[in-house]
Amino acid sequence: MHSHQLTEQQLLAAPMITREKDAGDLRDVVLMLHDFAFRSPAEILAGLGGSDAHAGHGSAGASPPRASGSGGINHGDMNHGARSSGMMPGMGMMPGMGAGMRIHANDVSYDAYLANDRTLDDPEVIRVDKGERVRLRVINGATATAFFVDTGSIEATCIAVDGSPCQPLKGRRFPLAQGQRIDLVLSLPGEGGTFPILAQVEADIRQTGIVLATSGATIAKIGDIAREAAPYATLALDEKLRALVPLPERKVDRTFRLMLGEEAGYRWTINGRVHGEHQPLDVRRGERIAIMFMNPTSMMHPMHLHGHHFQVAGSRAGQFAGPIRDTVIVPPHTPVMIVFDAEQPGRWFLHCHHLYHMATGMMTELSIS
């Protein structure tokens, strides 16, 4: 549960766990990730050159842009000047623009990355028993950072994403975008020891984490810099995951194409519009809806739908009965299709879970009548 405004960045968020009836006697270990800055959200937003689409003119959120590079903002390999010039408003960065194809992550460089509110200088140590099985419930509560969760020497089994069960999938490293959750079952070795569970920032070397330790084990210091940079978050995990209970087969009643856009002045759009100027997606209750996200921008967008779970149903890899989720990674230059049944009447936000993209416009509405 989290604030839906820029205050989320000031840690106004907490884990809420609903234990399944059939969860069994596995021990739950909750791991909540966060990105932390001493600067205020308004300062960060101003440093990015953006203004809060919700705040209106003349408010604190619409303070004048600062010179880029101030306040620790990391622009990576992005060049705002080049990006802003020669591009018509609403045009975004189209595939095939050549030089514009470069991608980047982490447009906000944080002062700390937190795991259960702590850094690796003094990580949370969770006592576990030799040979015990634990269910790690990982939540990415960060505002502008995707992570890779790394279970190190223990092979994990992914059993659920975003609260919905999936067919078990083994692995040691899983991408987790802002707003996403993942449930990993770990079997601790019978001989015991210490088992760091790390989360490394996407396309970066910084990391955070917690430590699982059996009694008497010596806990060595873990550095917060990894040996090599993590990759970019992609849809590769979703292309492998299969829902435990997929959506029933039926024909799609309505398909929407949503073009994610990036404009000069840190303006993030959907179909060329910021929130407030958006056109709601109008559907009728009971319809099967497909949404195709197209992302010609330079960044990944974790797209989140309120009030519903959807199935990740297609990408460049073709069509598949992927995981049931409420937040999906839409990588740059990669189309992603989601499918769901419009069940709950009302108006539901559909937005990017990168807080500063959302605040500057990347949000629309699904209207179910």
Could you list the residues that contact Cu ion (CB under 5 A)? 301, 352, 354, 357
CB of 335 to Cu ion, least distance (A): 16
* Complex with Cu ion: residue 149 or 329, whichever CB lies closer: 329
Nearer to Cu ion, 50 or 123 (CB): 50
Task: Tell the smallest beta-carbon distance from residue 44 to Cu ion (Å).
Answer: 15
- In the DSSP assignment, the letter for residue 294 is E
Residues 6+ apart with CB under 8 A from 236: 175
| Cα–Cα dist 236/226, whole Å | 22
Residue 301 CB, shortest distance to Cu ion, in Å, is: 3
SS3 of residue 305 by DSSP: strand
Nearest to 352 by CA among 232, 266, 290: 266
Nearest distance in Å: CB 200, Cu ion: 20
- Give the nearer residue to Cu ion in terms of CB position, either 54 or 354: 354
Residues paired with 112 in a beta bridge: 36
Q: In whole angstroms, how close is the CB of 138 to Cu ion at the nearest point?
A: 21
Instruction: Look up tokens 């949000």; give the residue.
Output: 363
Pick between residue 34 and residue 301 the one whose CB is nearest to Cu ion.
301
Give CA 205 to chain center in angstroms.
18
The tokens describing 301, both together, are 């967008």
User: Degrees (nearest 5) of the Cα angle 40, 5, 312?
Assistant: 120
Report residue 270 as tokens: 């959907």
State the burial class of residue 45 (Cβ atoms within 10 Å of its Cβ: 0-12, 13-18, 19+). Answer: buried
Q: How far is the CB of 76 from Cu ion (least distance, A)?
A: 15
**Comparison of 101 and 226: residue with beta carbon closer to Cu ion:** 101
Contact 291, 271 (CB under 8 A): no
Complex with Cu ion: residue 147 or 320, whichever CB lies closer: 147
CA dihedral angle for residue 195, residue 200, residue 205, residue 207, rounded to 10 degrees? -60
Nearest to 76 by CA among 35, 112, 109: 109
CB of 345 to Cu ion, least distance (A): 27
- 278 versus 357: smaller Cβ distance to Cu ion: 357
Position 322: which residue type? G
C-beta atoms surrounding 85 within 10 Å: 9
CA distance 198 to 210: 7
Minimum CB separation of residue 353 from Cu ion in Å reads 7
- Indicate the residue among 267 and 301 with the shorter CB distance to Cu ion: 301
As measured in angstroms, the least distance from the Cβ of 212 to Cu ion is 33
Q: Is 99 exposed, middle or buried (0-12, 13-18, 19+ CB in 10 A)?
A: exposed
- The token duo for 274 is 């910021």
Q: At closest approach, how far in Å is the CB of 137 from Cu ion?
A: 25
Choose between 195 and 293: whose C-beta lies nearer to Cu ion.
Answer: 293
Give 115 or 142: the residue with its C-beta nearer to Cu ion: 142
Nearest Cα to Cα of residue 362 among 308, 310, 314, 300: 300
> What is the DSSP code (8-state) at residue 177?
-
